[in-house]
Amino acid sequence: MSDEKEEKKKRGFKEDVPALIVAILIALTIRTFLFQSFYVPSDSMLPTLLVGDHVFVTKFSFGARIPWTGLQLPALREPARGEIAVFRLGREGRQVFPPDQRPKLPTDAFIKRLVGLPGDTVEVRDGRLFLNDREVRTESTGETFTDSTGRTFDVYEEYLGDCRHRILDDPGSPDINMAPRKVPQGRYFFLGDNRDNSLDSRRWGTVDRSAMHGPAGLLYWSWDWNGSWLELANPLTWWRNLTGKTRWERMGSFVGCEDENP
């Protein structure tokens, strides 16, 4: 009788292995070619994205890359001005570089708003954004935004092409200036919505098309966690931290533009 049970266990294991392999392959295919999760680690995209937001990136929109080949699948469309996109940058200590300039560096994913398209001239004068020598329209909302450290920012609406979105201005910071920069063909210029507190293309330059993962889409989870990870070692706190720290009101929303530019 024990031999029969042992044989059934072996048969069950052999039957489960192919199903497990198929499940892993499906998951890898989805992550590589369709959707990939991205965690927002910094406040550079406030007020649009908060630290702890988790969004899906649609990799097939810009053409997913085939691993270990250097090849890229056809894109459904080209990146659009105003949308939020995820891309790769090489990291060396606290410095970051476009990966085509320092290809041997390990890369991390970054998320910013696409401002300058190939051929554009981008300039910042006294904190105001100019594209092709024309000032980008901004309007004060009359509102303020307070971040997790207690700093208060003025909230503005910015209009980039057909995209209307919110940006922050720190009234206590000096106005930022950047001389005109021409965006080369095949490259893109990115800015954070938290303009006075963002390391972006003003610092590390433009991003090559090949380094872009895709546009950010669905915000599927948001977790307001700033405690010690050691606290999570206690299973008794898991449910409290999950339910109490989840920003339920943000889940299920789509990031990018608030609506089309009227």
Which residues are the active-site residues?
44, 112
Q: How far apart are CA 222 and CA 234, in angstroms?
A: 21
Listed in sequence order, the residues at least 6 apart from 106 whose beta carbon sits closer than 8 Å to its beta carbon are 90, 91
Pairwise CA distance, residues 129 & 68, whole Å = 39
Q: How far apart are the first and last CA of the chain?
A: 77
Supply the DSSP symbol for 93: T
Half-sphere exposure for 111 (CA within 13 Å, toward CB): 28
Phi and psi, residue 169, nearest 5°: -130, 130
Find where tokens 């199903």 sit.
Answer: 19
For 33, residues 6+ apart whose C-beta sits below 8 A from its C-beta are: 59, 60, 64, 73
Strand partners, 86: 111, 214
For residues 76 and 89, give the distance between their C-alpha atoms in angstroms, rounded to a whole number: 23
SS3 83: coil
**Within 13 Å of residue 258, how many CA atoms lie on the same side as its CB?**
13
User: Which residues on neighbouring strands pair with residue 114, listed in sequence order?
Assistant: 190
